[in-house]
Amino acid sequence: MKIMAFYYKPLSTIFLMWTNLFFLCLILMTSSSEAAAATTSYTLDLIHRDSPSSPFYDPSQTRLQRQAGSFLRSIARSSSNLLSAPVSPFSGEYVTKFRIGTPPVEVLAIVDTHSDLTWTQCVPCRDNVDKVIECYKQKTPLFDPRNSKTYRNLTCGSDQCALLDDASPGLLPACDHDQQPCSYYVFYKEEAVDESRSGGDIALETFTFVDGDNIDSVKVVFGCGHDNMGGFVEKASGVLGLARGSVSLVNQLASGGGARYFSYCLTSESDRSDSDAASRIRFGSTAIVGPGPKVGSTPLRKGPGGTVRNFYSVTLEGISVGNQRLEYSSSPKIVKRVGNIFIDSSTAMTVLPSSFYDRLESALVNGTRAKRVPDPRKTNGLCFSKGNINYPVITAHFQGVDLVLSNENTFSEVGVGVVCSTFLRGVSDEPSVAIFGNMHQRNILIGFDLDNHKVDFLPTDCAKPQ
């Protein structure tokens, strides 16, 4: 049973009504002038790495092993030194397919809301310092720009190269003068999961998105990576960057005057075996969530800077377990500032600063009234014997909207008769480790509105066609 409901504070409801009215007027006023520019919308499937339709699906893995994997990746994606180097996108959870070039070549990319640049491995793989050919093993054939009629290198003086200027600092464009080729390097933080990087040419290429009978082609600035490292297991060919920088796909797809907006609807684990019930991501005007009585919104805040400045930063005010409300900002290091948690589709679990997590854990132990058992994943998580568990209503209170999290997503069955909480203790007490993970985003249509600086939520059965 999936039950999810929204409760608004009266004040925010009024605010919401006014915003909706404002929007309606805005839409009515601008519809005629925008019609030409914003007709195109794009849709892609989001394939969970552990779903049977994923190229990375390993049927020999048990549920416990998959859970342990997503737990470790969640830890890898959240760390106190996130501010110094970007995390490897290969720890992400969703991949997508699209085509690039003429003739089109299929690309399998990790979808990353923490990356600005979209890049893919390209031949020739150049010698790096050690004179080793550097491309990692990927599932699909490598893209060769020499075989594409539409590929075009960009120079440092071009407007497109300037799109990299406000990218997160992990991305290094290398430009001394205008005629020089626009190139890039992105180094990802070394983590238990992976050491990785990509470097190459910034280029313009035709991207083709296929959604059923709809085939849309669009010119995109991307990184053609000739020097890449991504560990030793077979990987996706690159990254689809969805962060907030100018070079992000969400901004590029809106360059014709369309809405800088994307939304996704993530299906629950039990729906994943059904390939018709794929999670989807949409861009542009058809992606817009609401307005409507059940749509709630929270303001999108500036990221705190450093490598996280283009992340989707929102303000969490507290979490309730049953009637017991824990104030998020009362933890010592979570200063009373706006923007204290990142919404990320690529991290499975919700990671919370350590002292707040500890208080939440106590409340969950008390609220479930169940027997705590050792974590079968050996990751020190909060696990219970399934038999006599009482599921308390857990509510995440974001500024302006309260999200009731479903039991299915807050307690996950990891082994026979054992359920574990999907909240994770952060490696430090800094709010910069905090991530609202994808498990808690399932069956909610979530819209990221970069024009109006807000995130919209609408409870939805994501397995149903929308």
Task: Name which of 324 and 452 has its Cβ closer to ligand NAG.
Answer: 324
Q: Which is nearer to ligand NAG, 241 or 367 (CB)?
A: 367
To the nearest whole angstrom, how small is the minimum distance from the Cβ of residue 358 to ligand NAG?
13
Query: Cα(243)–Cα(233) distance, rounded to whole angstroms?
Result: 26
191 vs 201 by CB, closer to ligand NAG: 201
Please indicate whether residue 344 is annotated as part of the active site: yes
Output 324 or 355, the one with its CB closest to ligand NAG. Answer: 324
Q: Tell me the two tokens of residue 181.
A: 């080729």
Which of 112, 201, 375, 402 is labelled catalytic? 112
Any catalytic annotation for residue 216? no
Cα-only R_g, the chain: 22
Is residue 405 within 8 Å of 394, Cβ to Cβ?
Answer: yes
Length of the chain equals: 466
Instruction: Please state the closest distance from residue 223 (CB atom) to ligand NAG, in A.
Output: 12
Let me know: does 203 contact 181? Beta carbons within 8 Å: no
| Minimum distance of ligand NAG from residue 126's CB (angstroms) | 9
Lookup: tokens for 5: 């409901």
Q: Which residues bind ligand NAG (CB under 6 A)?
A: 145, 151, 153, 181, 201, 322, 324, 363, 366-367
CA distance 150 to 205: 6
154, 246, 353, 332 alpha-carbon torsion, rounded to 10°: 120
Catalytic residue among 45, 50, 271, 344: 344
Alpha-carbon distance of 386 to 405, in angstroms, equals 19
Tokens of 53: 């339709």
Residue pair 348/70 in contact by the 8 Å Cβ criterion? yes
Whole-number Å distance between alpha carbons of 74 and 72: 5
| Residue nearer to ligand NAG on the CB measure, 104 or 181 | 181
For the CB of residue 369, give the shortest distance to ligand NAG in the complex, in Å. Answer: 7
CB of 46 to ligand NAG, least distance (A): 31
Q: Any idea which residues carry the catalytic annotation?
A: 112, 344
